[in-house]
Amino acid sequence: MYICVCNAVTEREIRHCARLGCSLDDLREHLGVCTSCGKCKHAAKQILREERSANTESSGMQPA
């Protein structure tokens, strides 16, 4: 599914970047997320949170 329609960025691309440790600023810089109309910001942030949470749970680590 497209998350950023303005720049044709998909959920899959954002999840992949999140698994690599990217922040919202990184998504902005490299993919153009949140650089045009901004309607994708909430969804992009949610995906980043979900992936961080999944990574924390799978590694057995607790957030600080």
- Which among 10, 18, 27 is positioned nearest to 56, based on CA atoms? 18
Residue 13 sits in a domain whose CATH number is 1.10.10.1100
pLDDT of residue 11: 98
pLDDT of residue 55: 80
Instruction: Name the residue range of residue 34's domain.
Output: 2-59
Residue 50 in any domain: the answer is yes
**Which pLDDT score, from 0 to 100, does residue 31 have?**
97
Domain count of the fold of the chain: 1
Tell me the per-residue pLDDT of 40-63, one tens digit each, with 9 for 90 and over: 999 999 999 999 999 877 766 555
- Let me know if residue 64 belongs to a domain: no
